[in-house]
Structure 1
Amino acid sequence: MIKSTDVFYSSDYTQLTRDELINKVQSQMSEIRFKHVLGVEEVAVELAQLYNVSIEAASIAALTHDYAKERNPQEMQDLIISESLDLDLLQYGSEIWHGPVGAILVKKELRIEDEEIVNAIRYHTVGSPKMGLLEQIIYVADYVEPSRDFPGVDEARKLAKSDLAQAVAFETKHTLQYLISKQREIYPKAIETYNTWVAKN
Structure 2
Amino acid sequence: MSLDQVLIFDTTLRDGEQAPGASMSISEKLEVAQQLARLGVHVIEAGFPVSSPAQFDATKLVAEQIQGPVICGLARANEKDIDAAGKALAPAKKRRIHTFIATSPIHMEYKLRKTPDQVLKMAVEAVRYARQYTDNIEFSPEDACRSDLSFLYEILAAVIEAGATTLNIPDTVGYVLPYEYGQIIAKLKENVKGIEKAIISTHCHNDLG
TM-score, normalised via structure 1 length? 0.28
Instruction: State the structure with bigger RCO (CA 8 A, min sep 6), 1 or 2.
Output: 1
TM-score, normalised via structure 2 length? 0.27
Q: Which has the higher strand share?
A: 2
